[in-house]
Amino acid sequence: MARQRKKFDPSEQDDIKGDMTPMIDIIFLLLIFFLLTTKFIVPEKMISQLLPTNKGQASSSPPVVEPPQDLNILIYPEGFARGMGVQQMHNMWMDNQNASVAMLQVSNNPPIRIEGASISGSTRAEHLNPVLAEVYAYIAGLMEAAEVPGQPRSEQRPVVIHCFSAMHWKYALMAYDAVRQFERDKAGGRITSSQDLREAREVSFAPPRIRNYHTWELGNELWEILHMR
The model's pLDDT over 89-107, given as tens digits with 9 standing for 90+, comes to 988 988 888 888 999 999 8
Q: What's the average model confidence in pLDDT over 195-205?
A: 75
CB atoms within 10 A of CB 105: 22
Angle (CA) 179-208-216 rounded to 5° is 125
Task: Please give the pLDDT value at position 16.
Answer: 61
Q: How far apart, in whole angstroms, are the C-alpha atoms of residue 86 and residue 93?
A: 11
Q: How many domains does the chain have?
A: 1
Q: Could you tell me the residue range of the domain that residue 119 belongs to?
A: 71-226
Rg for the chain, CA atoms, rounded: 31
Percent of the chain with pLDDT over 90: 18
**Model confidence over 48-71: pLDDT tens digits?**
545 555 554 544 455 554 555 888
In DSSP terms, 204 is beta-bridged to 160
Q: How far apart, in whole angstroms, are the C-alpha atoms of residue 11 and residue 8?
A: 9
The answer to whether residues 226 and 72 touch, using CB atoms and an 8 Å cutoff, is no
With respect to residue 23, please indicate whether it lies within any of the assigned structural domains: no
With respect to residue 149, please indicate whether it lies within any of the assigned structural domains: yes
With respect to residue 110, please indicate whether it lies within any of the assigned structural domains: yes
Q: What's the average model confidence in pLDDT over 73-77?
A: 93
| Global confidence as pTM | 0.65
Q: Which residues contact 54 (CB under 8 A, 6 or more apart)?
A: 62, 63, 64
Q: How many Å separate Cα 54 from the centre of its chain?
A: 31
The answer to whether residues 173 and 180 touch, using CB atoms and an 8 Å cutoff, is no
Is residue 188 scored above 60 in pLDDT? yes
Sheet holding 203-205, edge to edge: 112-115, 101-106, 71-77, 159-163, 203-205
Task: Please give the pLDDT value at position 176.
Answer: 92
With respect to residue 196, please indicate whether it lies within any of the assigned structural domains: yes
Which range in 33-37, 115-119, 172-176 is most confidently predicted, on average pLDDT?
172-176
With respect to residue 95, please indicate whether it lies within any of the assigned structural domains: yes
With respect to residue 29, please indicate whether it lies within any of the assigned structural domains: no
With respect to residue 77, please indicate whether it lies within any of the assigned structural domains: yes
Q: How far apart, in whole angstroms, are the C-alpha atoms of residue 104 and residue 123?
A: 20
Higher pLDDT, 130 or 153: 130
**Residue 229 — very low, low, confident or very high, per pLDDT cuts 50/70/90?**
confident
